[in-house]
Amino acid sequence: METINWKVEGMTCSNCALSVNKVLQRQGMQKVQVNAISGEVSFANPNNPDILGIAQKNINDLGYHVVDDSQPIIAKKKKFLGSYLDKFWFCLPFTLVLMAGHWGMALGIHFLHSPWLQLAISLPVMVVGMDFFGRSAIKSLAKGIPNMNVLVALGASAAFVYSLIGTITGDENKIFYETATSILTIVFLGNWLEHYSVQRTQKAINELAKVEKVMANMIAYDDAHNENIFPIENTFLKVGDLVLIKTGEQVPMDCKILSGEADANEAIISGESLPVHKKQGDTLIGGSVLANGTVKCYITATGKDTVMSSIVALMKQAQGQKPPVQLLADKISAVFVPVVVSIALLTIVLNYYLFHQTFEESLMRSIAVLVISCPCAMGLATPAAIAVGLGRAAKHGILYTQPDSMEMFAQIKQIVFDKTGTLTTGEFQIMGFQITNEAIQQVTTYNLPLTTPDFQRIVYSLEKFSNHPVAKSIVKAWKTTDVIKWKKITEIKGLGMQATDKEGNEYMIGSAKIDDSITDKSHQLYVKKNNDIIGWIDIADEIRPESKAIIDFCKQQGMKTILLSGDNLAKCQQVGYALGIDEIIAGQSPQQKLDVIERLCKTTPTVMVGDGINDAPALAKATISISLSAASQLAIQSASVVLMNSGLQKLPAAMQLGRHTYNTVKGNLFWAFFYNIIAIPVAAMGLFTPMAGALLMGLSDVVLAANSLRLNWKRVR
Q: How many CB atoms lie within 10 A of CB 540?
A: 15
Instruction: Please compute the mean of the pLDDT values over residues 301-308 and round it to a whole number.
Output: 80
Write the DSSP assignment of 645-683 as a string of letters: TSSSTTHHHHHHHHHHHHHHHHHHHHHHHHHHHHHHHHH
Give CA angle at 506 (503, 512), nearest 5°.
Answer: 160
Q: What confidence tens digit (pLDDT) does each residue in 136-162 have? A: 888 878 777 787 788 889 999 998 998
**Is the pLDDT at 553 greater than 60, yes or no?**
yes
Among the residue ranges 36-40, 148-152, 624-628, the one predicted with the least confidence is 36-40
In angstroms, the CA 20 to CA 136 distance is 13
Cβ-based burial of 239 (10 A; exposed 0-12, middle 13-18, buried ≥19): middle
As a dihedral over the C-alpha atoms of residue 649, residue 653, residue 656, residue 659, rounded to 10 degrees, the angle is: -120
Under the banding of pLDDT at 50, 70 and 90, the label for residue 73 is very low
Instruction: Please compute the mean of the pLDDT values over residues 119-124 and round it to a whole number.
Output: 93
Instruction: Please compute the mean of the pLDDT values over residues 680-704 and round it to a whole number.
Output: 86
Can you say whether residue 382 is alpha, beta or left, with left for phi > 0 and alpha for psi between -120 and 50 degrees? Answer: alpha
Instruction: Please compute the mean of the pLDDT values over residues 509-516 and round it to a whole number.
Output: 86
In angstroms, the CA 595 to CA 586 distance is 13
* More confident call, 313 vs 695: 695
Give CA angle at 54 (49, 58), nearest 5°.
Answer: 145
- Please state whether beta strands 583-585 and 560-564 pair in parallel, antiparallel, or not at all (unpaired): parallel
State phi, psi for 480 to the nearest 5 degrees.
-150, 155
Residues 320 and 35: beta-carbon distance below 8 Å: yes
DSSP state of 411: G
Residues 93 and 141: beta-carbon distance below 8 Å: no
* More confident call, 327 vs 491: 491
- Predicted local confidence at residue 121, as pLDDT: 92
HEC letters along 629-655: CCCCHHHHHHCCEEECCCCCCCHHHHH
Instruction: Please compute the mean of the pLDDT values over residues 613-635 and round it to a whole number.
Output: 71
* More confident call, 98 vs 555: 555
Q: What confidence tens digit (pLDDT) does each residue in 392-420 have? A: 887 777 888 777 788 788 788 899 999 87
Residues 302 and 253: beta-carbon distance below 8 Å: yes
Which of 270-284, 332-346, 594-608, 640-654: highest mean pLDDT? 594-608
Instruction: Please compute the mean of the pLDDT values over residues 571-585 and round it to a whole number.
Output: 92
- Predicted local confidence at residue 75, as pLDDT: 46
- Predicted local confidence at residue 265, as pLDDT: 84
In angstroms, the CA 42 to CA 30 distance is 9
In angstroms, the CA 587 to CA 464 distance is 23
Instruction: Please compute the mean of the pLDDT values over residues 626-633 and round it to a whole number.
Output: 62
Q: What confidence tens digit (pLDDT) does each residue in 431-484 have? A: 888 888 666 655 444 445 678 888 999 999 999 988 777 888 889 889 888 899
Instruction: Please compute the mean of the pLDDT values over residues 275-279 and round it to a whole number.
Output: 86
Q: Maximum Cα–Cα distance for the chain, whole Å? A: 123
* More confident call, 632 vs 128: 128
Give CA angle at 358 (353, 364), nearest 5°.
Answer: 105
DSSP state of 404: H
581 half-sphere exposure, CB direction, 13 A CA radius: 26
Q: How many CB atoms lie within 10 A of CB 143?
A: 17
In angstroms, the CA 303 to CA 309 distance is 7
As a dihedral over the C-alpha atoms of residue 305, residue 306, residue 312, residue 318, rounded to 10 degrees, the angle is: 50
Among the residue ranges 169-173, 307-311, 312-316, the one predicted with the least confidence is 312-316
**Is the pLDDT at 576 greater than 80, yes or no?**
yes
What's the mean per-residue pLDDT of the chain?
83
Can you say whether residue 104 is alpha, beta or left, with left for phi > 0 and alpha for psi between -120 and 50 degrees? Answer: alpha
- Predicted local confidence at residue 349, as pLDDT: 94
Residues 145 and 62: beta-carbon distance below 8 Å: yes
HEC letters along 84-142: HHHHHHHHHHHHHHHHHHHCHHHHCCCHHHCHHHHHHHHHHHHHHHHHHHHHHHHHHHH
DSSP state of 1: -
Under the banding of pLDDT at 50, 70 and 90, the label for residue 634 is very low
Q: Where are the alpha helices (DSSP H) in 262-303?
A: 267-270
- Predicted local confidence at residue 260, as pLDDT: 92
- Predicted local confidence at residue 631, as pLDDT: 41
CA distances from 278 to 263, 294, 331, 344 (A): 6, 10, 52, 67
Dihedral sign for Cα atoms in the order 344, 345, 350, 351: positive
* More confident call, 534 vs 381: 534
**Is the pLDDT at 572 greater than 70, yes or no?**
yes
Residues 182 and 95: beta-carbon distance below 8 Å: yes
In angstroms, the CA 67 to CA 4 distance is 11
Residues 242 and 298: beta-carbon distance below 8 Å: yes
Instruction: Please compute the mean of the pLDDT values over residues 289-306 and round it to a whole number.
Output: 88
CA distances from 264 to 274, 307, 646 (A): 9, 15, 15
**Is the pLDDT at 606 greater than 90, yes or no?**
yes
Under the banding of pLDDT at 50, 70 and 90, the label for residue 632 is very low
In angstroms, the CA 490 to CA 488 distance is 7
As a dihedral over the C-alpha atoms of residue 178, residue 183, residue 184, residue 190, rounded to 10 degrees, the angle is: 140
* More confident call, 130 vs 199: 130
Which residues lie across from 229 on neighbouring strands? 219
What kind and span of H or E run contains 561?
strand 560-564
In angstroms, the CA 218 to CA 234 distance is 9
Which residues lie across from 160 on neighbouring strands? none
**Is the pLDDT at 45 greater than 90, yes or no?**
no
Instruction: Please compute the mean of the pLDDT values over residues 579-592 and round it to a whole number.
Output: 90
Closest CA to 364 of 155, 192, 137, 87: 155
- Predicted local confidence at residue 271, as pLDDT: 59
DSSP state of 305: G
In angstroms, the CA 267 to CA 287 distance is 9
Closest CA to 625 of 660, 586, 593, 663: 593
Q: Which residues of 604-641 are buried (b: 16+ CB within 10 A; e: fewer)?
A: ebbbbbbbbbbbbebbbbbbbbbbbbbebebbbebbbb
Q: How far is CA 290 from the centre of its chain?
A: 27
Domains and CATH numbers, the chain: 2-68 (3.30.70.100), 84-203+315-386+664-712 (no CATH), 215-249+254-301 (2.70.150.10), 398-424+543-651 (3.40.50.1000), 426-540 (3.40.1110.10)
- Predicted local confidence at residue 321, as pLDDT: 62
Instruction: Please compute the mean of the pLDDT values over residues 90-95 and round it to a whole number.
Output: 93
Instruction: Please compute the mean of the pLDDT values over residues 530-549 and round it to a whole number.
Output: 87
Instruction: Please compute the mean of the pLDDT values over residues 536-550 and round it to a whole number.
Output: 87
* More confident call, 387 vs 104: 387
What kind and span of H or E run contains 390?
helix 375-395
Give CA angle at 404 (401, 405), nearest 5°.
Answer: 70
CA distances from 137 to 90, 147, 191, 277, 462 (A): 21, 7, 15, 59, 71
Under the banding of pLDDT at 50, 70 and 90, the label for residue 699 is confident
Which of 35-39, 272-276, 448-452, 534-538: highest mean pLDDT? 534-538
DSSP state of 423: I
- Predicted local confidence at residue 78, as pLDDT: 65
HEC letters along 315-373: HHHHHHCCCCHHHHHHHHHHHHHHHHHHHHHHHHHHHHHHCCCCHHHHHHHHHHHHHHC
